[in-house]
Structure 1
Amino acid sequence: MTIRQFLLWTQHDSAGRRAEAASALARAYLYGGLDPEARWEAKTAVTALLDDASPLVRRALAEAFANAAGAPRPVVVALAQDVPEIAALVLARSPVLSDADLVDCAAIGEEPARLAVAGRPSLSPMVCGALAEIAGPAALRALAANPGAAITLGSLMRMVERHGGDGALREALLARPDLPLDVRQAVTAELARSLSAFVVGCGWLSAERGERVAREARERTTLGLAEGAAQEERRRLVAYLRRHGQLTAGLILRAMLSRQMAFTETAFADLSGLPGERVAALLHDGRGQGFPALYRRAGLPAALEPAFAAAMSAWREEADGLAAEAGPALSRRMIERAATACAGLPFAESHAIVALLNRFEAEAARDEARLVARTLADEAAVAAVLESIPAALIESYRQDRIRIAA
C-alpha cells in the first residue's frame, strides 16, 4: 500500500478507521524502510493528522510514537501538549522530548501530564526542580518514588515545604535510600506537626501540650538520625535546625544528657562559630575552665549554664570509666547532677529548667523500664522452653558434652 493510499484511508468518515490508518501510517514511517520521498510524504501525512477532531486518531499516533527514538519531533511535541490522556503517553516515555520540552509541558499542562513526567525512567535535576516547584502531591509522590530521578537537595526541601503534610509523600521520601539527613529531619518535623494537629483537633490534648509532645518526639527522632551520621551530614543537619529555629538549648541539653557528644560538639561549633576541634577541646577539658566562655559565645540561655556544666562534668567522669553506663538513652545520673546544680537557683529562674529535667528523668526511667521488661520477658521465654524439655534429655545432652570434652 502506498503512502497516498494511506492518505485516502485517513479521510474515512469513521473515526475508528481513521485511527487505524493513522497507526498504520506511523508504523510505516518508523519501520517501513521508505525512500526519502515517501518518508517525507508520510511525515507530512502524520503531521496533518494532528488536526483530526477525534482524539482516537491522535491517540493512535501517540501510542505508535511513544517509545520511538525515530519519531518526528514536531509531531511528538504537539502530542505532548494535547489533552491529558494523549499527552501522558508521550510524556511518560518518549526519548524525543528534551528537558526543555518536559519542563514546558509540566508548567503549562495539567496534573496528569506532570504525573507522567514524574514517572519517566530517567529525570534530570532540572526537570525534577521544575516538578518540585509546581507539581501537586500525586506527581511529587511519583517523583519521590522514582529511582531514576536525580533530585537535588534544594528540590527535596522544596517538596517538603510545599506538600510535607501529605503522608504518602513523606513515606515515599523516607523510602529513598539516598535521602540526605537534613531532608529526613524536615520530613520528621512535618510528621510531628501533622500528628500534633491531629491529636489537638480530636480534643485529646490541649494545643500547648500537643506542641510539647510533638517537639519532644521530633527532638528524639533528630538525635536518632544524627547518631552515627557522617560529620558533613551532621553539620548540614545542625545548620538546617538552626535556620528553622529547632536548634534549641533544650535539644542540645538532651543531646548532652544522651551522651551524643558528636552532635553536641557540632551544635556548639555552629552557634559559636569556632572550629570543631577547638570546641571539642573546650568541652572535653577536664578542668572545665573553657566551657563557660564557650557557652556564652554560643548565646545559650544563662539560666541553663549550671545544668550544662554539671551534665558535662558527669559525662567526663563516665568517659573516664568512673561511672560508665551503656546505651544512647538519657543518662539518669547526668540528669540528677544537672538538677542538683540548678537546685540553688531562684525559683523564677529554675522552675522551667527543673521541670524540663524532670521530664527527661521520667523519659529515662520509662526507657529503662522497657529494657528491663524486655529482658525479663526474654528470660521467661527461655525458661519456659527449658522447662518443656524432659530432664532425661537434658542429662543425656550433659553427659555427651562431658564425653566430648574428655
Structure 2
Amino acid sequence: MNLPPFPSDLEPTPEAAQASRARGVLLKRLADVVCLPMSRVNAFERAMTADLLVDMLREAEPAERKKVARRLAGLVEIPASLVRLLLRDESDVAEELLINAVVLSDADLLDCARMTGLEHRRLIALRRGVSEVVCDVLIEFGEILVLECLLRNDDARFSTGGVEAVVALTRGDARLTATLLRRPELRPAHAYVLFWWADAETRMIILQRFAVSREVLQEAASDIFAMAAEENWQDALSRKALQFIERRQRNRAAIDKSPFDSLEDAMAAAQHGLTREIAEEISYLSGLKPMTGAKIFTDPGGEPIAVLCKATGLPKPAIRALWRGLKRSESDGAGGMAPALERAMLVYDMIAVDRAQTVLRYWNWSLTSALTPALLRAIRDGDEDSLDEYSAPQRAAMLALSKDFGR
C-alpha cells in the first residue's frame, strides 16, 4: 500500500481531531507501552514513551485523557511527568488516579493539592492511607467539605499540629466537631480547649470521655513532693508539673494574702454580686490563674462552674450561689429550672473530684501557657491583650469580667 506523505505542518480542525480514530488508537498503544513490564521495556524507553504521551495528552480531549488515566491507574510505578499532568487535569480525569492509583507519592499529592482546586483536594482526602504531611496541607486550606471527608477517613493519619489546627477551625464551624470527636488522635489538651465553644451535648461527651484520673501520676511522683519541699520548691519546672499532679486543688498560700478567710467565705460574698475583685480571689483560692477564672465565670453554659465547685470540694449549693452572683435566671419561665443551671447540676453529680481537678488544671494550663500554640491562639481569639502594671492573665481576666458584667 502506498501511503501519502506525512503532513507534519498540517494542523487538523477541532472536528477532525475529535473524530480521529488514529489518535485514539495511538494514545492507547502509547499507554500500553508505558504499562509494559521492565522485562519488555527499559527505563529510558518508558520515559521516552511517557514524554510523547504527555505531549499528545496536552491537546487531547478530556475523554481521551480520562481513558489514559484509567489505563495507568493500576501501574506499580507511573512516570512522574504523566502523574503531574493527569493530577493537575480536570477533576474527572484526575479522579481516575486519585481514587484508583495506590502508588501516588506524597510529593504527587501535595503538588495536586496546591495546584488544583477543592474537588481535587476532596478526592485526595478520600484516599486510603493519607499521610500526616498531606493531611497538614489539606487542613491549611480550611475547606469544610474537604475536612469532613478527611475526618471521616479512618485510614487518614493526623499529626498533632493538624489536630490542633482542626480544633481551632471548629470555633468557626461546628460541623466538624462531631467527626473530630471520633478521631483517635484527639487528646485531652485538644478536647478541653474545644469545650469552650462546643454545644451542650458535645461538652457532656468531652467531660465523660476525657476527664481522666491522675492516680497513676500521683503514685509515680508520691515521693517527689517531699524532695521538692526540701528544696523549697525552687525548681520552676518540677513545681509546675507537681502542681498539676497533686491531689489538693485549693491554694493554701493564697489564704494568707486574701481578704477572705476561706474559699467558702469568698463564695458567700459572691452570691450578692460577683465583682472582678471577688472573682479574682476565688480564682487564686481555687489554685487558678485569673484568666482561667474569668473564662469559667463568663461562660454562659454553666458546666465550667460545676467543674470548679466539684474540683475544689465545694457543696452543690455553691453553684446556685455563683449563679445568683452572676445575675443569671434560675428559672426557665415555666416553673422549671433554667436549662443551663440544670446542666451544671448534672455535671456536678456526674463527675468525680479527681477528674474534675484534671479538667480544671488542663483549662488553667491551656489558657496560660504555650503548651499548644494553635489552641492557645484559638482560645484567646478576640481577647484584648494589653500590657500595664498587671500581668497579662490578670489584665485579660479583668477585661473579660468587665465586659460580661457591664462594668
> Normalised by the size of structure 1, how large is the TM-score?
0.51
Question: Who is 1:159 aligned against?
Answer: 166
Q: How does 1:4-403 map to 2 (within 5 A)?
A: 13-14=17-18, 17=21, 18-19=23-24, 21-31=26-36, 34-36=40-42, 39=46, 42-162=49-169, 164-192=171-199, 222-228=206-212, 273=240, 275-276=242-243, 279-280=246-247, 283=250, 290=253, 292=255, 301-302=279-280, 304=282, 334-335=314-315, 338=318, 352=325
Superposed CA offset, 1:221-257 (max 9, x none): 5543442356899xxxxxxxxxxxxxxxxxxxxxxxx
CA distance in 1, matches of 2:196, 2:344: 23
Superposed CA offset, 1:129-188 (max 9, x none): 111111511111111122222211221221233355545432222222332223334444
Describe the SS at the equivalent of 1:301: helix
Output the amino acid matched with 1:292.
Answer: I
Describe the SS at the equivalent of 1:177: coil
Question: Who is 1:248 aligned against?
Answer: none
Output the amino acid matched with 2:27.
Answer: A
CA distance in 2, matches of 1:282, 1:329: 10
Cα distance change on mapping 1:356 and 1:155 into 2, 3 Å: farther
CA distance in 2, matches of 1:154, 1:277: 23
CA distance in 2, matches of 1:137, 1:55: 28
Cα distance change on mapping 1:61 and 1:280 into 2, 3 Å: same
Describe the SS at the equivalent of 1:335: coil
CA distance in 2, matches of 1:330, 1:65: 64
CA distance in 2, matches of 1:218, 1:43: 52
Superposed CA offset, 1:277-313 (max 9, x none): 7853575xxxx955626999xx98355379969xxxx
CA distance in 2, matches of 1:49, 1:363: 66
8 A contact 2:195–2:203 mirrored in 1 = no
Residue 55 (structure 1) shift: 0.8
Bigger relative CO (Cα 8 Å, ≥ 6 apart) = 2
Q: Which structure would you say has the larger Rg?
A: 1
Output the amino acid matched with 1:113.
Answer: H
Describe the SS at the equivalent of 1:275: helix
* Root-mean-square deviation (Å): 5.0
Residue 102 (structure 1) shift: 1.9
Residue 54 (structure 1) shift: 0.7
Residue 26 (structure 1) shift: 1.4
8 A contact 2:192–2:206 mirrored in 1 = yes
Residue 16 (structure 1) shift: 7.8
CA distance in 1, matches of 2:283, 2:51: 80
Gaps of 5+ in 2: 1-11, 218-235, 261-276, 288-306, 331-336, 351-407
CA distance in 2, matches of 1:188, 1:350: 20
Describe the SS at the equivalent of 1:276: helix
Q: Which has the higher helix share?
A: 1
Residue 104 (structure 1) shift: 2.5
8 A contact 2:214–2:245 mirrored in 1 = no
8 A contact 1:111–1:135 mirrored in 2 = no
CA distance in 2, matches of 1:336, 1:306: 20
Output the amino acid matched with 2:40.
Answer: L
Cα distance change on mapping 1:147 and 1:364 into 2, 3 Å: closer
Output the amino acid matched with 2:56.
Answer: L
Residue 72 (structure 1) shift: 1.5
Gaps of 5+ in 1: 1-10, 193-213, 234-268, 310-327, 343-348, 371-406
CA distance in 1, matches of 2:45, 2:316: 89
Cα distance change on mapping 1:219 and 1:121 into 2, 3 Å: closer
Residue 28 (structure 1) shift: 3.6
8 A contact 2:171–2:197 mirrored in 1 = yes
Cα distance change on mapping 1:160 and 1:363 into 2, 3 Å: closer
